[in-house]
Chain A
């Protein structure tokens, strides 16, 4: 389990030295009975960012890197990252303290607090990546960290790092990636990321990126557990005194150490595609073994060894496919005695079957990756039986979720064109322009004159009447631009001839269908325990809630999810079906996916109440009463325009078949609170664990239900209601034989 909730603070001095620190713990009691902590820092001239709580320094092995803990912790000017591996519980997260006054540590007066950045989570920022121009000039590096503050907002931070002539590094830790990206004009750093990728990265979904990386670091693509990676290069120096010492610059060193020290040092040079391959079983990849790069090891309880390795320039260290969580234990970092640039820390344990290779960006299957980085989410226990890999429903990817037999989900599009209501789709910019234009129009005498003369001759010129023609303004959590529209037009209100001149799309569908994809419900035991009452399957559907599905209906099958959205109201209906030989709908849920954006303070309650009255509904009578009261308290009385609008709207409802009661379902409560839940459907399978002794079959016997002659059986058996016909023995013996056969005998 990754202990990943460490409060960190960012503290800088008042001049130009800024830094970052990340702490990560890997604790896996089942496989790796130790705790490992890393406290890298970079570019810190005065102090590190973390220190141990008082009294705990003695817990740190002092012989690591030949530094005493105090030296390491309090004299970070040497900037040597250190790594410890501990016996379990030697050092736990609670024993680290951030540099806050309340922890008894005084921040130097010339330092400026950058405020607490929040919690480091296991968010993977692999999708973030820096790039640079070709080597020989300036190289830009990126340091990325995903942080979550107390409000749950995740922000990815990065650091610009500029290397000049390989000998100096200046970094800042000031930019917010999201804000930076919004500028869309990166000046010195190019990010191959967008909001979606960032979001996916936060969710642990790695986008595949293959680029012709040339002379810039992409160590940032390392799959790391603890969310920060930097790269740098090493300076020729031997000061380190036990740390990683590089006698040559600009080489890439990668090593691992399953049972003996092995290191690969890439050839010196500036070739574009340095390939780093480390293989455990393949002797041919054991190259240039040198222990001098491998001085920082510590024997672990389980006999394993952690290694610290150096990555220098041109690093393309990447982890390939096939490495699973419990196999990983390699530590890779960049080290330099004087000019420290922390490297990527990666811990993995290699088995005979796995190796790492360079120059290949190893994005694994998103689903597997999700499990990989969030093992605790899946109650990860290496002793458990691995989840079987779900089969894909057909070789044709397009068939997933679409190749349904027995149930035709084809939705007949319902046109929005009805002359009573019109839907206009807008971008954020168009919405802003619409708002500006609308308010300008509202106070334009000419416009109202036009409206008044074309709608009704005696139309009362009142902006409030105008606003009543707006039924609602919704924010939808998906892009509407991919759906059909009939024309590009301004917004026409009522029967006005003159539109509110903003370019919009006239949305031409009242109902749209969205494919929510499929999800495989795996078996685990392949026996009755995969089903009720031992297993519970629940599907969480965004905006619609949760639904429990009988395991007998879905285990070992694909669930398919389809949404239908009412574009007038934002109501969403989710149809959950089971894909098997005969696909069938298993659940239908409804909810509200759109958020209402209030555009008028007009009396919407009255509007709704009148609709309810027209349609005969009683649900809104109470609301209507309130509306009437509200109306009475207003100085402005309803005009004929209100009645006309209501009539039109209810008529529109009748035409489109829409439930008018949901027109204002979200009301003016904001509606965005509805987005607080999960916005991607997922399944939760909860299985009861059973204890099954190894001799269960021989001692207790498995449940059975078949008929046979006793002579055909083998081993333990127990019968029910034995018919003793055929036995020629006496009464007592028959009774005894019957009792024995029913209680259990061996054949």
Chain B
């Protein structure tokens, strides 16, 4: 079976690693699969060089990308390597076409969204400020009038009448 090896440094969770893979892609290499295996995590027999110099492979026959696992030496230069299918890159084109509802994102698009994941400290910041006017000046000296006397009756209630302004 012909495969291509490569070295991918991107995070395993990156959707499309094909560009990373292409940058380090080897030429076609013949490998064997061991006995019966499923396509999700097959085991390959390959030269030790490929198992130690690459971490990623593409299988054209299955049109699938695989992460390489820890190799086991069989004899001489041959090793047995478990592989795990990279379902993200193998289906990258279809995934990128999906319409999804994003709930966390690297870019802060809406600053007013509550974020429960943010860690709260025990500290608080206190801010004070006055209102611009200070009408209650107190005082009482000089010509300031601060006293108000309320009296029953008054000028207007005199028996002879009076000013009722």
Chain A interface (Cβ within 8 Å of chain B)? 182, 195-196, 199, 367, 370, 377-379, 381, 384, 387, 400-401, 417, 419-428, 430-431, 434, 454-455, 468-481, 486-487, 489, 491-497, 499, 504-508, 514-520, 522, 524, 526-529, 531, 534, 542, 559, 561, 563, 567-568, 593-594, 597, 645, 648-649, 652, 675, 679-692, 696-698, 700-711, 713-729, 732-733, 736-737, 740-741, 744-747
Contact = CB atoms under 8 A, between A and B. Distances in A.
Given A475-B146, A682-B129, A515 B135 contact: yes
B157 interface: yes
Question: By CB atoms of chain B within 10 A, which of A470, A481, A725, A746 has the most?
Answer: A746
B148 A514 contact: no
Interface in B93-146: 94-121, 123-146
B87 interface: yes
Given A684-B126, A689-B125, A709-B96, A425 B105 contact: no
B124 A686 contact: yes
Interface stretch (B11-19, B27-35, B66-74): B11-19
B133 A702 contact: no
A581 B119 CA distance: 34
A649 B16 CA distance: 88
Contacts of B130: 367, 370, 519, 680-682
Given A470-B152, A471-B152, 14 more contacts: A379-B127, A401-B133, A419-B154, A427-B144, A454-B158, A478-B137, A495-B153, A517-B133, A691-B118, A697-B105, A710-B100, A717-B100, A727-B94, A741-B100
Contacts of A652: 152
B87 A480 contact: no
Contacts of A522: 127, 129
Contacts of B108: 527, 697, 702
B88 interface: yes
B151 interface: yes
A417 B120 CA distance: 60
Given A422-B153, A514-B135, A711-B96, A717 B105 contact: yes
Contacts of B164: 417, 419
A592 to B, nearest CB: 13
A729 B91 contact: yes
A701 B127 contact: no
Nearest to B111: A527
B49 interface: no
Question: By CB atoms of chain B within 10 A, which of A420, A422, A455, A468 has the most?
Answer: A422
Contact of A491 (B115, B124, B149): B149
B150 A707 contact: no
A37 B8 CA distance: 62
Question: By CB atoms of chain A within 10 A, which of B85, B100, B152, B158 has the most?
Answer: B152
A426 B152 contact: no
Contacts of A688: 120-121, 124
Contacts of A718: 102-105
Interface of B: 10-11, 13-16, 40, 85, 87-88, 90-91, 94-121, 123-160, 163-165
Contacts of B13: 740, 744-746
Given A593-B136, A717-B106, A737 B150 contact: no
A477 B148 CA distance: 11
Contacts of A426: 145, 147-149
A479 B101 contact: no
A463 to B, nearest CB: 15
**4 closest A-B pairs by CB:** A422-B154, A517-B133, A715-B106, A711-B96
Contacts of A733: 40, 85, 87, 90-91
A727 B95 contact: yes
Contact of B120 (A559, A690, A704): A690
Contacts of B149: 423-426, 434, 470, 472-474, 491, 504
B153 A421 contact: yes
Contacts of A680: 130-131, 134, 136
B98 A709 contact: yes
Contact of A428 (B97, B104, B120, B146): B146
A528 B113 contact: yes
B124 A689 contact: yes
B161 to A, nearest CB: 10
A723 B125 contact: no
B135 A683 contact: no
B14 to A, nearest CB: 5
A726 B14 contact: no
A685 B109 CA distance: 26
30 contacts: A421-B152, A423-B149, A424-B150, A454-B158, A476-B147, A478-B135, A478-B137, A478-B138, A481-B144, A487-B155, A516-B131, A520-B129, A528-B114, A680-B134, A683-B128, A683-B131, A684-B127, A696-B118, A697-B107, A703-B110, A703-B113, A703-B117, A704-B104, A705-B102, A710-B100, A719-B103, A720-B103, A726-B97, A727-B98, A745-B88
A594 B138 CA distance: 11
Contacts of A711: 96-97
Contact of B104 (A473, A492, A702, A729): A702
A719 B159 CA distance: 87
B151 A421 contact: yes
Contact of A705 (B94, B103, B163): B103
Contacts of B163: 486-487
B59 to A, nearest CB: 15
B66 to A, nearest CB: 13
Contact of B153 (A493, A686, A709): A493
A740 B138 CA distance: 69
A343 B47 CA distance: 87
A476 B131 contact: no
A480 B145 contact: yes
Contacts of A703: 103-104, 110, 113-117
Question: By CB atoms of chain A within 10 A, which of B129, B150, B157 has the most?
Answer: B150
B20 to A, nearest CB: 12
A471 B154 CA distance: 12
Contacts of B146: 427-428, 475-480
Nearest to B122: A689
Contacts of A696: 118
A325 to B, nearest CB: 15
Nearest to A384: B125
B9 to A, nearest CB: 12
A598 B116 CA distance: 58
Contacts of A567: 148
A198 to B, nearest CB: 11
A681 B132 CA distance: 9
B106 A492 contact: no
Given A486-B165, A717-B106, A710 B124 contact: no
A387 B127 contact: yes
Nearest to A747: B15
Given A527-B112, A710-B100, A689 B121 contact: yes
A706 B102 contact: yes
Given A528-B113, A710-B96, A726-B98, A469 B145 contact: no
Question: By CB atoms of chain B within 10 A, which of A524, A737, A744 has the most?
Answer: A737
B140 A428 contact: yes
A530 to B, nearest CB: 9
B132 A401 contact: yes
Contact of B109 (A196, A480, A704, A716): A704
A364 to B, nearest CB: 15
A477 B151 contact: no
Nearest to B95: A710
Contacts of B119: 690-691
A428 B147 contact: yes
B95 A737 contact: yes
A169 B73 CA distance: 99
A515 B102 contact: no
Contacts of B90: 729, 733
B153 A469 contact: yes
A691 B121 CA distance: 6
Contacts of A717: 100, 102, 104-106
